[in-house]
Amino acid sequence: MAGSGEAIPRIYLDNAATTPLDPQVRAAMLAALDACAGNASAMHAPGRRARERIEAARADVAALIRAPADSIVFTSGATESDNLAILGGARGNRARGRHLVSLRTEHRAVLDACQALEREGFAVTLLVPGPDGLLDPAALAAALTPKTTLVSVMLVNNETGVVQDIAALAAVCRARGVLVHVDAAQAAGRVPIDVGALDVDLISLSAHKVHGPVGVGALYVRRTPRPTLEPLQYGGGQEGGLRSGSLAAHQIAGMGEAFRLATADGERESARLQGLAERLWTLLEGLGGVHLNGHRTRRAPHIVNVSFEGVDGEALLLELEGLIVASGAACSAESGEPSYVLRALGRPDALAQASLRFSLGRFSTAADVEAAATRVRAGLTRLRGLAPP
């Protein structure tokens, strides 16, 4: 482990867990706090100003995914959006059937929502993708039954960065009249999202994965044909009756600004991140005994997930003082278990346990990548020297 003399510069490469707040987003939130003193549901002037900020943000969020503004429902984050889509969609369509399909590699917000539905008497089929992380549309088609009402598949996997062919999967569902939900929290601002081209019904989005604030997200709900959703909470009927509760104008303004920035700079930023990720993988691959997890090319530009032979994952993390990366997903890191996503892809426990996820963001630099690889090399060399494979 590195010495404890002078402070070691911190390198933040855990942007898939959360991204640092962009200064322009912070400014937009402060402006909204100053200007929006009223409840957005009220008819007086302060209330109207809050409503105007919210509707402007709604348009900005919609623009990133090429959707109409009135298809955006604000929530507290992608977890709530996933729950509203899955629980609300399943319950709202239970008269047609009580069967859902998803993947074993989905986010816990999806898997746990499916598990909750099983306790209510629904049947859930969890498919296993190929070793590259991709789901074969034929496998999805084989899993559908006359009772299937909803399929949930993530666009960009939060651990591996693998990008699913959502349009092909949605086509399978559309032919059978099955609703399609997509968790796009890791995709927004990193890969293009066009709701028309994807042809899906529901899309979950998060602000804090795109340099926006924690605590706000959105659910895209297709307008025509509009899926039937049962709300999870009741009250004042805000957000078209799907998400009652007073809207936090400053949080929503922050999300709108974050998505506006992502729309304006998305193509150039994605290319920059792709270059950084490829350089990082080249440096790590050269260390030997290093495996890239997930498909080599069908992946988001900001995630590099690798497994290291011959070392203990926890010991390697301790070696990387000052390098902020993840071992598995942030939502399940406390379990101490090998990544269920990597195990589903066929990685043995030893390699799944010795895996790190490097994730880049707007403030990541080439110098960060070079320094990160240097620290990994030093830690790996020391550990392999202590206990050769």
Give catalytic residue positions. 331
Beta strands, E only, the chain? 11-12, 72-75, 99-103, 123-127, 148-152, 179-183, 202-206, 217-221, 290-292, 303-308, 323-324, 355-359
- DSSP alpha helices (H): ranges in 103-229? 108-119, 137-143, 166-174, 195-198
Closest CA to 67 of 198, 253, 194: 194
Q: Is 35 in contact with 349 (CB distance < 8 Å)? A: no
Closest CA to 357 of 309, 323, 318, 319: 323
Q: Give every CB contact of residue 70 below 8 A, 6+ residues apart in sequence.
A: 58, 223
Instruction: Determine the 3-state secondary structure of 161 from DSSP.
Output: coil
DSSP-assigned letter for residue 226? P
Closest CA to 96 of 168, 176, 202, 183: 176
CA distance 144 to 156: 22
Q: Give every CB contact of residue 85 below 8 A, 6+ residues apart in sequence.
A: 152, 181, 202, 204, 219, 229
Closest CA to 13 of 361, 334, 274: 361
